[in-house]
Structure 1
Amino acid sequence: MAQRLSDDFSSSVEIVEINMPQPLAHQLLVRNRFAGVNAGFDTLLCRGEVPYVNLSPPFDMGVEAVGEIVAVGAAVAKFRVGETVATTSRGGGYREYQLVDGKHAVKIPQAVPEILTLMPTGTSALVGLEQVGDMGSEETILITAAAGGIGHIAVQLAKLAGNHVIGTCGTETKVRLLQDLGCDRIINYCQENVHDVLATEYPQGINLVFDCVGKHMFDVGVDHLAVRGRFVIVGFISEYGQSFEPVVRPRIYEKLFWKAASVRGFLLPQYAEAIPAACDRLLTLFAQGQLNVAVDPTDFYGLEAIPEAVNYLLSGQNCGKVVVRF
């Protein structure tokens, strides 16, 4: 639970013990087995910098979780004790037990951490690419942080749609993951200059940039947009947990105007109407074996490990979705 606003997640949160809650008529009591880590959102929330929520400490943390139903409210008909569900309620993830409205739980075959990559992380990839990025087929698409939780799903969705996909990453382990996922051109930015690669190999520009990183990657992506190219801002993890870098340079409209290009911000809660259908599609693709889900192999156990997991993700070491196990 966030007990105070702070620039640093670890100094903001504390473990708090409360009595076991009992579900109201429309609620489920779920024992969380796995929770997904969203370090950027966690950090901004603890800093009080998420504009669409107005929270005063103390408040609960965490979002997506999978677990088992241990109690059911009297008015809930479609769930039973012992069934497994996925939840994406803000404040429900970083808990051992959570109460959730039965309308906001999704029944799943078993409580496995791979589901956390699909909901809501994979949902963000699908909605961001299709509805915000207007992804077509036979396009050239650049995905930054391509081996991360959202990135590696975006790579696969872009490939399934019939596109040429460029992915950036920073380690050989991540290169191998992207190779396995069929990424067409992998740029290890520790060994190659992203700007030089794009200038040399993609002189016609990039049709769609899907960026989670910000700073230098934002600048490079904007510079290399094609005519009518679209740049989707999914996040800016390079600046989470620190003051934003002051930028003194010409405004970017001159770069966009002559190409009829655009920069578009994307935040999943602003597309709530698209979430149910996107979740259904992703679960179907996963069940059919058309999506490979990467869960970072680093072990984080229990509530006390959450600050370490957040810092690990912010450091960029992860390969796939970072998960805490209970």
Structure 2
Amino acid sequence: TNNLAKTACINIVTLNSVAFYIFIMSASLPSSMRKLVVKTLTSNFRKAVEIQTVPLPNPASGHVLVKNHFVGINASDVNFSAGKYDPSKQPPFDAGFEAIGEVVAVGDGVSQSFIGKSVAHLSNGAFSEFQAVAGKSILEIPSMQPQYIPCLVSGMTAKLALQESGNLKPNEKVLVTAASGGTGQFAVQLAKLAGCHVIGTCSSDKKVNFLKSIGCDHAINISTENLGQVLKEHYPHGVDVVYESVGGETYETCVNRLAVKGRLIVIGYISGYQQPMGVATTTSARGAAALPVKMLMKSSSVTGFFLFHYANQWKSAFQELSDLYVAGKLTCMVDDGSSERKGGFRGIDDVTDAVDYLYSRKSVGKIVVNLASSGSKL
């Protein structure tokens, strides 16, 4: 009887503590928030968006309210703002699609135990101080480290693209373009973990050093070296797998340097993202017309990969990447822009600068913006 009474008292104290915490959390929440909204369709991200102050949303049934602490910057943010992925979607609509933060409120049907948890989520409208997210979509993380941001869009794209389309085999030669970027860094490391010889392209000696530090066997600085000539000299029989995100001449070079039975995975074409819709990203229509012959003569293939077609695998992929990071087997390099300004990118106001920074080709790793507080620009 005494034990039952003690247990009951402990449960009451626990419930009271949880209720008190929820009360404190709700009492500290603001009545409004700021977010980035696409107001006009254009690939010029700065012109496409505006900051709006709106009422703080109440989480609907099955949803949670997340206070976003860090958001990720992606090359494809400009594709969303230009309407290239979904032409039927017309402004205004919210921008951004990945963040990590803290659950500060829950809707009906969601356990109160989620309040206070650190979570990651992949959902439209992430460039926002607070965001209502479906409870079934949140991914719990051990701590509020920005290094979990790269495991979302960038890491999952690399993992699932190589898994579903790469069919990697030990000792194969894998070429990763834009290898020092947010997703490239994962493709390099995952290919190494699969026992492959990895070649990576980048645009500076600083990035060459970074690629070597994460296990890249051959880093090619395309600012000083000709990609086609280097591949022809060092890999005369071609490369087995290409993880391609640049497009244009780089894409054509990669197609030409595929080995017999080679696989090229197109995960993006950043060289054409800031171009208007309909503008060709290859330098030669004749080269495009020759593609079927090139594929035929090598029994090779070109496959497109778009992460949002693999939503049913997100949770497992994210968990595997997180586990590798926690185990010290995976580097999740983040770039907060501190090399550009004191304090780095902080607050909603700095998101547009962070997008510009990505396209400046100066960044190394995944660009993140800290929404926890705003910083002053220098």
1:117 and 2:162 are equivalent in the alignment = no
- Kindly state the Cα deviation for residue 275 of structure 1 after the two structures are TM-superposed: 1.9
- Kindly state the Cα deviation for residue 315 of structure 1 after the two structures are TM-superposed: 2.1
Cα distance per residue 1:12-62 (max 9 Å; x no partner): 1000111111112211111100000113x21111111114x7311110011
| Structure-2 residue corresponding to 1:232 | 265
| Structure-1 residue corresponding to 2:95 | 61
| Structure-1 residue corresponding to 2:329 | 290
> In the alignment, is the contact (CA less than 8 A) between 2:237 and 2:259 conserved in 1?
yes
| Structure-2 residue corresponding to 1:248 | 285
| Structure-1 residue corresponding to 2:51 | 15
Per the alignment, do residues 87 and 240 of structure 1 end up closer, same or farther by CA in structure 2, a change over 3 Å counting? same
Q: TM-score, normalised by structure 2?
A: 0.83
- Kindly state the Cα deviation for residue 136 of structure 1 after the two structures are TM-superposed: 2.1
Moved more, 217-226 or 78-87: 78-87
> In the alignment, is the contact (CA less than 8 A) between 1:66 and 1:115 conserved in 2?
yes
| Cα distance between partner residues in 1 of 2:324 and 2:246 | 27
Which structure has the larger Rg? 2
Q: What pairs with 1:162-311 in structure 2 (closer than 5 Å)?
A: 162-243=195-276, 244-245=279-280, 247-250=284-287, 251=289, 252-298=291-337, 299-311=344-356
> In the alignment, is the contact (CA less than 8 A) between 2:345 and 2:370 conserved in 1?
yes
| Cα distance between partner residues in 2 of 1:192 and 1:221 | 15
- Kindly state the Cα deviation for residue 277 of structure 1 after the two structures are TM-superposed: 1.7
Cα distance per residue 1:85-126 (max 9 Å; x no partner): 0010122x1000000010000111111111110012100000
- Report the 3-state secondary structure (helix = DSSP H, G, I; strand = E; otherwise coil) of the residue aligned with 2:131: strand
| Cα distance between partner residues in 1 of 2:368 and 2:256 | 35
Moved more, 145-154 or 54-63: 54-63
1:77 and 2:111 are equivalent in the alignment = yes
1:87 and 2:126 are equivalent in the alignment = no
Aligned length: 323
| Cα distance between partner residues in 1 of 2:81 and 2:267 | 19
Q: What pairs with 1:29-68 in structure 2 (closer than 5 Å)?
A: 29-39=65-75, 41-51=76-86, 54-68=88-102
- Kindly state the Cα deviation for residue 78 of structure 1 after the two structures are TM-superposed: 7.2
- Kindly state the Cα deviation for residue 304 of structure 1 after the two structures are TM-superposed: 1.0
Unmatched 5+ stretches in structure 1 = none
- Report the 3-state secondary structure (helix = DSSP H, G, I; strand = E; otherwise coil) of the residue aligned with 1:118: coil
| Cα distance between partner residues in 2 of 1:197 and 1:155 | 18
> In the alignment, is the contact (CA less than 8 A) between 2:43 and 2:273 conserved in 1?
no
| Cα distance between partner residues in 2 of 1:58 and 1:182 | 43
| Structure-2 residue corresponding to 1:145 | 178
Moved more, 76-85 or 146-155: 76-85
> In the alignment, is the contact (CA less than 8 A) between 1:72 and 1:79 conserved in 2?
no
> In the alignment, is the contact (CA less than 8 A) between 1:167 and 1:178 conserved in 2?
yes
Taking only the aligned residue pairs, the percentage that are identical comes to: 39
| Cα distance between partner residues in 1 of 2:112 and 2:257 | 50
Unmatched 5+ stretches in structure 2 = 1-36, 338-343, 372-378
Cα distance per residue 1:158-190 (max 9 Å; x no partner): 000000000000011111110101100010011
Q: TM-score, normalised by structure 1?
A: 0.96
| Structure-2 residue corresponding to 1:130 | 163
